[in-house]
Structure 1
Amino acid sequence: MTTYQSSWINFLRQYGPIPRNDNMYDEAIQRSIQRKGMEPIKVEPEYLPNLIENFNSGYPQTIILTGTAGDGKTFYCREVWTALGGPKEVWDNGNTIKSLELPEKTIFFIKDLSELSEEDKNIINNLADSIKNGGNKVFLVAANDGQLIEAWKKADYTYDVAEVTGIIEDLLVNEKEEHPDYNLQLINLSRTNSARTFQKVVKSVVEHPGWNECGNCLYRESTCPIWENRKRLKGTDDNNVLKSRLTNLLELCELNEVHIPIRHLLLLVSNMILGHPEAKDKLMSCNQIPKILEDNSASKASIYRNIFGENLNPRRREQTEIFSILNRFGIGTESNNLIDNMLIYGNDEPELFNLYDKYMLSDTYYGADETFKAHQKSYLEGDVDKEESQEFIGRLRSQRQRLFFSVDDNDVEEIKIWDLTTFKYAGEFLESVYRRLGNEKRVQPKILSRLVKGINRISTGLLTKDTDKIFLSTSGSHSQSKISRVFESEISVRPSRGESVDITLENGKPLLSVKMSLSPEIRPVSLKLHLVRYEFISRVAEGELPGSFSRECYEDLLAFKSRLINQLEARRKLEGADEYDSDRLVLELLRLNNEGMLYTRSVEVEFE
């Protein structure tokens, strides 16, 4: 029996986690496309139609593309060049600056601002003139976000360069694309939503015509792990549960202000399909499939393990950004009793067998295959040494990873799949906060109450159960003491005399907003609710101490408290609050009653 050697599979391997010079990534892929005659992986570019329309218009703007490495800046430049009729051989000539003569205008392309030579750096003066004054010279410029301002500051000083540098800084800081007085669009590709881009990448890869080459392979339908992984990623057999769960993780990354460039998403998808720890470069190719099947090691190619780079050695995995990011969710290392009991005892326990049958026995490829069942039996009978026991525990970890991406939506509440992650409130944060707000619905009162309780516990240092007010207290000064008993004020959660606490969306991100006054001079105090903060506050409210990420979050909440107290002082001044008596001071000290509710007790301090 022989395999068909697919040039498409060999091409897809190049997108995976293999050593390469990242600065030459786009060029290397393009050379491979030309050499193999391969149709490229096409991901619908979000901004391309607008860029082409801009440069074809009678009054085009200069455009600067910024973002992290791998966001597709070089791709956009090349596609615009081609769409406007630029010769391919000129694009490939290696020059950093290229120009294209069009009727009544010249377009200059700078595909990497940081690569300008000393002789070429005077082009920045022309670029500044184009941005400030317009004219018949316009530019399309690509620059990594960390290098964009640096390149401008290194340019020869002129008033125009200094002025435009300030404008670019302002646009970056304020997350805006245009300034009405300047001929410039600044497009930050890092603001492109990774979750939406991921779905485009998956569609482009799994539906690529290169898969037609697999039609001649004898291993395709029954045993080939490459084809099996492609089928699972395509999602026809699981109602897209795998794709949906991974999209959720990427959405949570975005909400946690972690952006994943398209290059890393391509790497992820390539590794999901081709990853295997015993393959060359840890990525399968067609000629390795017979040996993998002969060695009975197809289960090591599990797409669910490959999502986290488990086919790579630990050092390589940690150095590959996408796997480092996804592994922060801790999927597989966390669990709950139901899941572990089902995995270990499900075959013999009647009350667990239905779940075991549905999610383990039914998946003979990556679930309860013969190897897993043999290890399970030996483990239960105690017929294993320490090494074999650790191997079985490793298999349990892999199965937890698989369960997170395969439990269907009807069983999510029973199995509690988010218990398999470091962030057990992540699903709630995504569905009941972010998406609910996106659908213009209010967050449920029970969620707001929990957050208020958590904030009160952190702010006062006391195990209060109060949920209808935010208590502001200090330790007698504005020091950030762990326990703060000196009562300053309370803020009603329900709207009352200008006070309220609510959760809203601002720039597409959830925000806890505390209003303290009807006066426009006393502005609301806000706290961004990204995933880690939401988890921290929720766990504190429920009496848990999440030490793994508590320090930074704790300091963030104390800073939030300080801003609330500062606004309280501003409100007092606006309202003309009475000054303290110089001879005595009455302090209101916070106490907890038997029900865990806060109350105050007055203590008078006299001065001699």
Structure 2
Amino acid sequence: MDSLTCRTSTWIDFLRQYGPIPRNDNMYDEVIQRTLRRKKLQPITFETEYLGELLDNFRSASPKTVILTGTAGDGKTYYCRQIWEEFGGSVDDWQKDSKIQRLALGDAASSPSVRQLIVIKDLSELTLKEKQSLLPQIATAILGKDTSKVYLIAANDGQLVEAWTEAAQIEEMKPVRKAIEDLLVGDLRELDGFQVKLYNLSRQSAAVLFPRILKAVLEHPGWGDCNQCAYQSQGCPIWQNKQRLEGTDADRTTQERLTDLLELCELNQMHLPVRQLLLLVANALLGHPDAKDRLLNCRQVPDVIAADTTSRASLYRNIFGENLPERRRESTEVFKVLRGFGIGAETSNQIDNILIFGADDPELQPLYADLVLSDSFYGADLKYQAQQRSYLEGDAAKGREEFLGVLQAQRQRLFFTIPGDRTTDMKLWDLTIFQYAGEYLNDLYRALQEDKKVPKPITSRLIRGLNRIFTGLLVNNQDELLLATSGSYSQARISKVYEESVSVSRKRGESVSVELDQSRKKPSLVVNLASNVEPIRFNLTLTRYEYLSRVAEGALPSSFSQECYEDVLAFKTQVFKQLAVRRSLDNEDEDGEEAINIRLLEMNSAGIASERTLEVYF
């Protein structure tokens, strides 16, 4: 193999820069653009969510000032540069270190009232003196008092309001600062009376952007260099990872499953910015623990093949940052989030039996051949089979530890390769800590998106889980929500004093349902107590869904997550507050009675709780 020619790819060298290697984050976009120009490469381009809207705003007859906010890496600088170039701004001027750039919107020759576009690359980089000078000017534009200038401002979350607070010296800045706070807190785009639009780029959907980013990387013309490389057909792990991530028209299981994970992260209130998604793709393609910076380049491929360590470049390991040292892996947001699913560490007896005993067990051999032997590159290569035999024969402890590490990699591979029509019988989501994640994504969230009803068994299970936490008892009621206290304290772990029940099916204004929150586009559990009482909403994240489902199936309330338990009790308190509102509207007043009725919960042999009334005389 030494005689083979390894063609060095400028594209692969460039792609490494998107990976988890040291860089100056504040100059990320600028560094990438300079590198592209120097190496004469096409940029990675993909459709972004708001660019069209932003360009239309600045092209309009009455453009508004735009504030782009979000976390680091959400693409604020990218948006600013794209708008700058679209309106004729010079690339060379943009690359200068100037914090503020200016250009004319429109043609001065055809219009005497040409506006000036002022681009602030990063509000946090301005000194206090610069902010005190500039922000009053921005305020006058936002209030509509100065139409000669329009601003495009990039600012990280948390720094935007702080900047206005620091520089607030004149009276007219107060309503502008208040308006910006209202836009941020209310997650709004515009407010009447203010010439400003606020785009929170942290609201961009990772699940929507990821397939676009992946397509842009995998279809980049730079891959053409690989067609002249002899190692393409000799086991190059970079090329192997590209093909697997790309999939075929008939089978895109790996990228679809990875997109599902990203969507679940989003539904679990974990935002991943564009920079992290690019990092994920680069690491998935190029990761190897023995390479420089743990990312392969073309020059290292012959050595990896010669050392027979191509399996350590597995795409399925790289998705979780397994190629990186633990400290760097845990400090990289995307890997920290994805590793939270426990894929590789979690397993099922069925999967492990196939991986460990499949070669010898006649009943498991068909599955072993289909799921393990069929993949000789990252599945059952000769090394794996030797370690498997060594493990079964009880050889040295070191060999045992090595095989357990290999098992983890195989579980990760299977999660991304088990065909879609086998996910139920193979219990795919048992390979994660969220065993109900597939149901949550497909039968609940996507059903709601398509205006379908949530299956009754799901709603029933959620109600059963809530009832068990609300009462602290292993009740099986699922057609009504039980509201109970310990007498006067609704937060008690055991609550047997019955206060009220809420019908799940719609009845006299009462109902309990799972709906899609129209503002956040995420599932919520909604309790209606009466038509004239504000409904109570409980944000149904993946973690909360898993928690309620496990409790419903028999787990104790605190066994999955103490935080979830406290969240549910806080929800219970909100329900009781609205119950008090309903009672006040109904003019319920029992003062002055000779006897007090105390209603206690009583369970029958089937676990169904009902009320038993005690009369206390005084």
Q: TM-score, normalised by structure 2?
A: 0.96
Match of 1:451 in 2: 462
Match of 2:608 in 1: 597
Match of 1:204 in 2: 216
1:18 is aligned to 2:18? no
1:56 is aligned to 2:59? yes
1:111 is aligned to 2:121? yes
One-letter code aligned to 2:264? L
How do 1:88-107 and structure 2 match up within 5 A? 88-102=91-105, 103=108, 104-107=114-117
Aligned partners of 1:532 and 1:549 also within 8 Å: no
1:441 is aligned to 2:444? no
After TM superposition, give the deviation of residue 53 of structure 1 in Å: 2.1
Unaligned ranges ≥5, structure 1: none
After TM superposition, give the deviation of residue 602 of structure 1 in Å: 2.2
User: Which segment is superposed worse, 54-63 or 3-12?
Assistant: 54-63
Match of 2:418 among 402, 407, 410: 407
Match of 2:303 in 1: 291
Match of 2:176 in 1: 164
After TM superposition, give the deviation of residue 580 of structure 1 in Å: 4.0
Match of 1:242 among 248, 254, 258: 254
CA distance in 2, matches of 1:146, 1:43: 28
CA distance in 2, matches of 1:510, 1:587: 36
User: Which segment is superposed worse, 24-33 or 583-592?
Assistant: 583-592
Does the residue aligned with 2:611 lie in a helix, a strand or coil? strand
Match of 1:224 in 2: 236
Does the residue aligned with 1:504 lie in a helix, a strand or coil? strand
Match of 1:514 in 2: 527
Q: How many residues align?
A: 604
Unaligned ranges ≥5, structure 2: 109-113
One-letter code aligned to 1:221? S
CA distance in 1, matches of 2:59, 2:607: 68
**Relative to structure 1, is the Cα distance of residues 582 and 547 closer, same or farther in structure 2, using a 3 angstrom cutoff?**
closer
Does the residue aligned with 1:414 lie in a helix, a strand or coil? coil
Cα shift readout 1:425-460 (whole Å, capped 9, x = no counterpart): 011000000000100101000100000000000000
How do 1:556-595 and structure 2 match up within 5 A? 556-581=567-592, 584-595=595-606
After TM superposition, give the deviation of residue 578 of structure 1 in Å: 2.9
1:214 is aligned to 2:226? yes
Match of 1:551 in 2: 562
Match of 1:491 among 469, 489, 502: 502
Match of 1:389 in 2: 400
CA distance in 2, matches of 1:238, 1:227: 20
User: Which segment is superposed worse, 539-548 or 148-157?
Assistant: 539-548
One-letter code aligned to 1:475? S
The percent of aligned pairs where both chains have the same amino acid is 50
Match of 2:71 among 52, 68, 90: 68
Cα shift readout 1:328-381 (whole Å, capped 9, x = no counterpart): 010111111111111111111122122111110010000011110111111112
Does the residue aligned with 1:443 lie in a helix, a strand or coil? coil
Does the residue aligned with 1:489 lie in a helix, a strand or coil? strand
How do 1:283-362 and structure 2 match up within 5 A? 283-362=295-374
CA distance in 2, matches of 1:33, 1:488: 68
After TM superposition, give the deviation of residue 576 of structure 1 in Å: 1.3
User: Which segment is superposed worse, 489-498 or 594-603?
Assistant: 594-603
Match of 2:111 in 1: none
Cα shift readout 1:5-45 (whole Å, capped 9, x = no counterpart): 11110000000000112111111111211111111111222
One-letter code aligned to 2:88? G
CA distance in 2, matches of 1:423, 1:36: 44
CA distance in 2, matches of 1:547, 1:357: 41
After TM superposition, give the deviation of residue 95 of structure 1 in Å: 0.9
CA distance in 2, matches of 1:546, 1:197: 37
Does the residue aligned with 1:332 lie in a helix, a strand or coil? coil
Does the residue aligned with 1:590 lie in a helix, a strand or coil? strand
How do 1:269-288 and structure 2 match up within 5 A? 269-288=281-300
Match of 1:83 in 2: 86
**Relative to structure 1, is the Cα distance of residues 225 and 548 closer, same or farther in structure 2, using a 3 angstrom cutoff?**
farther
After TM superposition, give the deviation of residue 238 of structure 1 in Å: 6.6
